[in-house]
Structure 1
Amino acid sequence: MPRLVDKSVGRTPTPRKGMPSPKLNEEEFKARYKQQFVDPAFQPLTASIERIASIAWEAYAESRKSPITRKAGSAFSDPDYDLSVDWIAAHEAVLQAQRRYEDLTVPPRLLIINGSSRSEHTCPGEMSKSFRLAEIARETIETEAKLAVEILDLSRIASEYGRNIHPCKACFSTAAALCHWPCSCYPNHSLGQVQDWMSEIYPMWVAADGIMIITPVNWYQVSSPVKLMMDRLVCADGGNPDPSLTRGKDATKAKEVELAGWDYPRHLAGRLFSVIVHGDVDGAENVRRSIADWLRFMKLSPAGPNAELDRYIGYWKPYATSHEELDANEAIQEEIRNVARSLAEAVLERRAGRYRQIGIGLQDPRQK
């Protein structure tokens, strides 16, 4: 695809500055760092913890975001640039997933995403309806279409140790090329922003022939875990697969690269999707539309007219009986099966060459 050049800007804009610094002094930093050791069981290790806190302070003070790096190598525009080994591992996982997606000898695979943060393994003490709907969809696809299904259970953000999706830092809004694919903002070891789940989630999306998102309505919006994932997938829609091109996070260099012409690569284009949104009071239709619009914007295709569903379960009924309401609503359960059948059928038709995405080869005259 030819690179689109913005001729309206005669010079590279200077990155705007002026926000107050979030930098902590040593005392404040260590006080926060040691909050993770408040359990009295750590008291015998007080001296050791103090030493570890001092090392962590040094890393923070020196901004050692990526303490372990290696040369980028010949596959990148600057072979001598020092790339984070964390990013290299995530990059290679994405490349492997892409090869799997493109290999037509490998059976197609579907990804089902449970978007609810509710789980019996944390404070709510009960599974979510989204999880139950995901299980209905999984069983339908596996038993009827005989396709492999991977479940991404986003409730683990709230219930599993070390499962984090850190917030998007909006690099894309500075310049498209500053947003790396996959995201290079994390891990940031100096800030303790580690254990970022997105490095595993990106390959799940890339390898999938079809993706189903199931989410409840939370205050007229998608759930918190789904929104975190959505924001962090911005790099899949126009993100830069070569961090050496921008010398890492050099904002000025990234602006130069974008203004010289950027092709906005659509890293997930062509995959099929379905969306299921359920609520109990209001907002389900709007949330379903917003998710579907987002997926279409990234050049994914809906899996037919039955692939998008919004419904209410226990409409204006007590929350305490919501699972009983789902038990009794056999129509919704069958609608979920139909969404799953639609996605599976579309994936199989695509593999057989009978389901073509219209306009996939057309170039957008205005990317951004």
Structure 2
Amino acid sequence: MSTMPRKGQHQKKLTRQEFHEKFQNSFIDPTFIKVKDELASVENIAWNNYIEGGHKAPLTEKAGPDFHDPNYDLSIEWKITQKRLVEAEKKQKDLATKSRVLLISGSARNDATCPSEISKTSRLLSLAASELENADIETDILDLSLLTSDYDKHIHPCKACVSTAMPLCHWPCSCYPNHALRQTNDWMAEIYEKWVAAHGVIILTPVYWYQAPSVLKLMIDRLVCADGGNPDPTLTQGKDAQKAKKIELTGWNYPKHLAGRAYGLFVHGDVAGIEGLRRELSDWLDWMGLIDAGPSARLDRYIGYYESYAESHEVLDKDELVQKEVRNIAKAVANAVLKIREGILEQPDNNVEPVRRK
């Protein structure tokens, strides 16, 4: 069986004129005219970095003794993220620390951007947060709508390294930043740490066109490295696809870096799609080895079925049952977290060797 990577899809590089047009598109505001000469100089450097190659990770240092190849030049930015994950994992496993739950709002709407109004999801998240605080559990809030309102904040898309070979997908992701392509300010470095530090996770999200909102799906795709990802990029000498294929075919153990944490879900909508999305999210979290906090912690509900968008917040005001159900999700996750940390609760198939690994 050949392990040679297949080639032939990648498009040609931009011409100098095409690069110029793309670069200048970020500076069409007339206020930049007074620094056009300076921008031209920056553009010229950026063009050279783009054409030359080798500027994906311009700042590197030797991997060190904790890696397979201690002399490999690893990205300093990646090493900083990796060290933060190691420290977060140590603290998460320390029974002397307080329990911690990550609350994730999957809505793209907030009142600092075009919709001019907060999301119902953020309101429901606040209810869950208050219940967790009542249970003396620390909360960490991840509001994915900040992708639509914060300056230059990004979750860049997954490049699907897994589909070439699992060891090519590094934990944490090493695809970004890519400075040569100006793929920078990737929020996932911080988001990975939030997941690792948590003992439980609750995702609250609306349905957009029968699917997860794009801000949530971006995060989900980039968490693929948490399920089977390679924690040592020196094994594959960075992104050497052929080496990664050989390693996988020799035998890969698909480490589940987030397994054992508790989870809860609340999916809401106004017309259709809530049950399908709730099942998809449950299946995804189950696959990664997280432990559901029971049927009352995995809910899908309509809020204002076929009622006007304009009055959706007023409908939520009146729907006290939905509000109570969200509070119950938090209570269930709090109970599950405590039982997991006491060693009372774990996945029933935790010690069963899987027949098929992937």
- TM-score interval for Structure 1 and Structure 2 normalised by the shorter chain: over 0.9
Which deviates the most, 305-314 or 347-356? 347-356
Task: Report the CA distance between 1:22 and its aligned residue.
Answer: 4.4
Match of 1:41 among 31, 36, 44: 31
Deviation per CA, 1:12-62, whole angstroms, max 9, x where unpaired? Answer: 421111114141011211221121111111111111100000000111112
Percent identity between matched residues is: 52
1:126 aligned partner, one-letter code: E
> Runs of 4 or more off by more than 6 Å in structure 1?
none
Does residue 228 of the first structure (1) align with residue 218 of the second (2)? yes
Q: Deviations over 1:100-154 (max 9, x none)?
A: 11111111100000010100000000000110110010011112x1111010000
| Corresponding position: 1:114 with 2:119 | no
1:146-161 equivalences in 2 (<5 Å): 146-161=136-151
Task: Choose which of 56, 70, 93 in structure 1 pairs with 2:84.
Answer: 93
Q: Which runs of 5+ in 2 are unaligned?
A: none
> Distance between the aligned counterparts of 1:90 and 1:62, measured in 2?
27
- Residue 288 of structure 2 corresponds to residue 301 of structure 1: no
Paired with 2:157 and 2:257, the residues of 1 have a C-alpha distance of: 20
Q: How does 1:343-354 map to 2 (within 5 A)?
A: 343-354=333-344
What residue is the counterpart of 2:70 in the other structure? 79
CA RMSD in angstroms, aligned pairs only: 0.9
What is the rounded CA distance, in whole Å, between the counterparts of 2:300 and 2:195 in structure 1? 23
Q: Is the Cα–Cα contact under 8 Å of residues 12 and 255 in structure 1 kept in the other structure?
A: no
Deviates more, 1:355-364 or 1:152-161: 355-364
Residue type matched to 1:116 in 2? S
- Aligned residue for 2:324? 334
Which AA in structure 2 matches 1:69?
Answer: T
1:168 — aligned with what? 158
Q: Which residue of 2 aligns with 1:8?
A: none
Q: Is the 8 A contact 2:201 2:262 kept in 1?
A: yes
Residue 366 of structure 1 aligns to a residue in which SS? Answer: coil
CA contact (8 A) 1:274 1:343 kept: yes
Q: CA deviation at 1:361?
A: 2.2
**AA paired with 1:245?**
L
Contact 2:260 2:346 survives alignment (8 Å) = no
Select the residue among 350, 353, 357 that pairs with 1:363: 353
Separation (CA, whole Å) in 1 of partners of 2:290 and 2:96: 22
- Name the CA distance, whole Å, in 2 between partners of 1:300 and 1:37: 45
**Whole-angstrom distance in 2 between the partners of 1:287 and 1:20:** 33
Instruction: Report the TM-score, using the length of structure 2 for normalisation.
Output: 0.98
Question: Residue 98 of structure 1 aligns to which amino acid in structure 2?
Answer: E
Q: Kindly indicate whether residue 79 of structure 2 is the aligned counterpart of residue 103 of structure 1.
A: no
**Which one of the candidate residues 234, 258, 274 is aligned to 1:268?**
258
1:186-205 to structure 2, matched below 5 A, reads 186-205=176-195
**Aligned-pair CA distance for 1:316:** 0.2
Letter in 2 for 1:43: I
Structure 1, unaligned runs of 5 or more: 1-10
3-state SS in 1 of match to 2:191: helix
Mapping of residues 119-158 of structure 1, within 5 Å: 119-143=110-134, 145-158=135-148
Per the normalisation by structure 1, the TM-score is 0.95
Q: Specify the code of the residue in structure 2 equivalent to 1:127.
A: I
- 1:183 counterpart letter in structure 2: C
What SS class does the counterpart of residue 296 from structure 1 fall into?
helix
1:213-292 aligned within 5 A: 213-292=203-282
Deviations 1:275-311 (A, max 9, x none): 1000000010010000000000011110122110100
Answer yes or no: is the 8 Å Cα contact 2:57–2:178 preserved in 1: yes
Asked if the contact 2:291/2:346 (under 8 Å) is kept, the reply is no
Give the Cα–Cα distance (whole angstroms) in 2 for the partners of residues 250 and 346 of structure 1. 41
CA distance in 1, matches of 2:341, 2:301: 30
Amino acid at match of 1:198: M
- Counterpart amino acid of 2:19? F
**Superposed displacement of residue 364, structure 1:** 1.1
Whole-angstrom CA distance in 2 between matches of 1:88 and 1:34: 32
Q: Equivalents in 2 of 1:48, 1:303: separation in Å?
A: 56
- The equivalences for 1:58-77 within 5 A come to 58-63=48-53, 64-77=55-68
CA contact (8 A) 1:270 1:360 kept: no
